[in-house]
Amino acid sequence: MGRNAYRVGIVGLRGITSKGVEDPVQPFRTEIVHSHAAGLSVIDGFEIVGVCDLVPDLLDDFAQTWSRRWPNAKPYADFSAMLREADLDILAIATGDHTHATLAVEAAGAGVKGIFCEKPLATSLEDADRLIETCEANNVVVTVDHTRRYRPEWVHVREEVRSGAIGKLTTIVGTLGGPRAMLFRNGTHMIDTICMYAESQPAQVWARLESGFEHWDSYKGDGGKLPENDPGAMGFIQFENGTRALYCGMKETQGMFSLQLSGADGQIYVTEENATVFSSGPDRVNGVRRRIVPRTYVAEGIASAYEELADLMENGGEGVSMARESRKTVQILMGFLASQQAGSALIDVPK
Toward ligand NAD, which CB reaches closer, 108 or 165? 108
Size of the site for ligand NAD (CB under 6 A): 24
- From candidates 48, 58, 310, 334, binder to ligand NAD by CB under 6 A: 58
Stretch binding ligand NAD (CB under 6 A), from 89-97, 160-168, 208-216, 325-333:
89-97
Angle between helices 323-341 and 125-137 (to 10 degrees): 160
- The C-alpha atoms of residue 162 and residue 159 are separated, in whole angstroms, by 5
Name, in order, each residue with C-beta under 8 angstroms of 285's C-beta and a sequence gap of 6 or more: none
CB of 180 to ligand NAD, least distance (A): 10
> Count of CB atoms within 10 A of residue 326's CB?
28
Residue 97, interface with ligand NAD (CB under 6 A)?
A: yes
Toward ligand NAD, which CB reaches closer, 41 or 243? 41
Nearest to 204 by CA among 244, 154, 175, 233: 244
Residue least distant from ligand NAD (Cβ): 14
Residue 11, interface with ligand NAD (CB under 6 A)?
A: yes
Beta strands 74-76 and 46-52 are parallel
Toward ligand NAD, which CB reaches closer, 39 or 263? 39
Find out whether 248 and 173 touch, Cβ atoms under 8 Å.
yes
- The C-alpha atoms of residue 150 and residue 175 are separated, in whole angstroms, by 20
> Count of CB atoms within 10 A of residue 61's CB?
16
- From candidates 7, 8, 12, 330, binder to ligand NAD by CB under 6 A: 12
For residue 270, CA distances in Å to 147, 150, 154, 157, 232 come to 15, 15, 8, 8, 21
CB of 230 to ligand NAD, least distance (A): 10
Site for ligand NAD in 242-271 (CB under 6 A): none
Residue 59, interface with ligand NAD (CB under 6 A)?
A: no
Residue 195, interface with ligand NAD (CB under 6 A)?
A: no
Which residues make up the interface to ligand NAD (CB under 6 A)?
A: 11-14, 16, 52-55, 58, 79, 94-97, 99, 118-119, 145, 147, 185, 223-225
